[in-house]
Structure 1
């Protein structure tokens, strides 16, 4: 079983990472500011202009530590990963299933059932916790509007239908998202990406990028090809399988965290800036706050609903990747999606 390890986030531009024995050394302006043993890490995420040595890249590849390269504001650019520990038979089966419309539709359906169920749980929990009766009623109504879609997607047999229901559920969910937060500076007027045009979208996009890094690591760790998905179509440079695994976790690991950061006043409007092109981005201080909160959220304990075992939130996506691999091998009749309760 995979142990819960840490992710090293390097946010200071101009930093340089080097191999120092069995550790990674972080340097800035020729001074060593941090030294972390490689065996304590499962990933390194570099933001913006951060360099690293070829010796460190080789050591990380051998140790199973991925290096993800992001833009200064969280957009994925590239990754350095080592040889996959999975056997070729699993990947060959993954490719066969991805080419089978019926089998692909079945997996995609289960994933979106999980996503819609989890988004409804986010809305209903917020409704119960809200001290404002009108807001609570609006959240309950939004959750009820998603119930018919949940029934429809459970009956879907093809991927295109699943994608359609997923798009409609996302539209209904994000139309109610502003009622989840208590700060008018974080009002959502719709989902916007590439670039995000308001603060809440900038925050969500950043958290989704972190979740994508974890999903890629989960795929590679259990031998799946992160590029070949079932819900997401193949596209050069897109990690389709990692994006598939993310769907059921977006509401639980990213959306809930974003709402908590805003409602607890851990971040505020001053921590965001607008570029000349109209994009909204977090400043360095806010980004570090979000990263620390994300790492803390991954340490929270939860009982896995299918396995019946206690684990951490951070390991959930790794467990789901292994369950997907077991389904592909034929050990499980269906992919058991994660339902948050």
Structure 2
């Protein structure tokens, strides 16, 4: 993943002497990309004024680069996708499997299981750095699993049951994520993903939800691109219901990687002390991201989706893993594979400053520090950093002494 974020009043995109040119005269910015030498794989347009020429849109399509248009609140408004792999036979198989209750349920169950496994893994990773009781998490998740297994044993194969299971797990998950957000950014007063006037989180009432909405929109655009490339119909899903003006298959596949957006937001808050002035309050009292904040978030999401993890016998970026899982789904739907396996490798958060190490620093006396070769002033600064920073770097020489 390597998107180019375009935002700001008066931005224009056109083609000049075979080159794609992005300009903003007010900001005195100009970007040029020669044919077949552009490193970006998508362009995100987050703005309300500006222009794009027909020739530049043709240039982007020829280079297999899709456009993503975000609404005023950061939600996905539209995408322009490269040429689609059209397979009438695949779509007929997709419709048939959607109408088969047992097959549809089996696909939905695998999607939900993958989401829950990834959510649990993220919480356990976060428990290394935040006061989260990992044993309590495991017990609560397992208790919900047991309830669901008991119901599943009746072989009802009803989609509302598995969606209810997913919703209950999501509620537990966000209870802990809320505590992390509360520690990182108490000034943003995050409570829940929904608000009183909107059951869905379409209009962010706080800054955390604005960040999450923006991230989920970028994820949705990537999934649309991948589904488009394999020829699946985005309007026919397996977990989410088919509704007017909705793309349930996009929502289905989003569930597999929402946790990576959540992690990106957490990491952004850890590394950048965002303030309320980094957001825009609209006349309807909704929150949206400023251009500089959006760029920070896009960069963090880009980093995480390009992170390579063990997948099979090799290492692949999460972007490639997303595409591979959608390809696996297409092969199963089209009867080219007899079984469906959804596999999302767990992430490992690599940080030195875990809770145990932080507590060791805080409880260390000057005498104990002296024995380890840590002088009083160094120990004082270490304790100050532990108390004031959500994420801190512990240098290797100090880390060796503490271990």
- Structure 2's unaligned 5+ residue stretches are 195-200, 347-403
Q: Tell me which residue corresponds to 1:255.
A: 262
Give secondary structure in 1 for the equivalent of 2:128: helix
Instruction: Tell me if structure 2 keeps the 8 A contact 1:124–1:140.
Output: no
Q: Deviations over 1:71-113 (max 9, x none)?
A: 2442111222243124322222112212222211111110010
Partner of 1:90, secondary structure, is helix
CA 1:21 to 1:244, structure 2 compared with 1: closer, same or farther past 3 Å? Answer: farther
Larger-Rg structure: 2
Are 2:310 and 2:345, in contact at CA under 8 Å, matched by a contact in 1? no
RMSD of Structure 2 on Structure 1 (CA): 2.4
Compared with structure 1, are the counterparts of its residues 215 and 240 closer, same or farther at alpha carbon in structure 2 (3 Å cutoff)?
A: same
8 Å contact kept, 1:163–1:231? yes
Aligned to 1:241: 249
Change in Cα spacing, 1:12 to 1:106, as seen in structure 2 (3 Å) is: same
Which among 159, 184, 187 is matched to residue 185 of structure 1? 187
The corresponding residue for 2:296 is: 289
How far apart are residue 208 of structure 1 and its match? 0.6
Map of 1:45 onto structure 2: 44
Q: CA deviation at 1:19?
A: 3.1
CA distance in 1, matches of 2:146, 2:35: 46
Report if aligned partners of 1:123, 1:143 keep a CA contact under 8 Å in 2.
Answer: no
Deviation larger for 197-206 or 68-77: 68-77
- Unpaired runs of 5+ residues, structure 1, are none
TM-score by length of 1: 0.87
1:29-178 matches, cutoff 5 A: 29=25, 33-37=30-34, 39=36, 40-49=39-48, 50-130=50-130, 135-137=131-133, 140-151=135-146, 155=152, 157-178=157-178
Residue pair 1:113, 1:153 contacting (<8 A) in 2 also = no
Distance 1:340 1:278 in 2: 39
Structure 1 position 322 matched with structure 2 position 327? yes
- Which of 203, 215, 226 is the equivalent residue of 1:218? 226
**Contact in 1 for aligned 2:76/2:218 (Cα 8 Å):** no
Query: Which residue number corresponds to residue 360 of structure 2?
Result: none
The TM-score normalised by the length of structure 2 is 0.75
The reply on whether 1:19 has 2:21 as its aligned counterpart is: no
* Kept after mapping to 2: 8 A contact 1:107/1:334: no
Task: Determine which of 252, 264, 272 is the counterpart of 2:271.
Answer: 264
Q: Give the C-alpha shift of residue 186 in structure 1.
A: 4.0
Decide whether aligned partners of structure 1 residues 215 and 178 sit closer, same or farther in structure 2, where only a CA change above 3 A counts.
Answer: same
* CA distance 1:186–1:10, change in 2 (3 Å): same
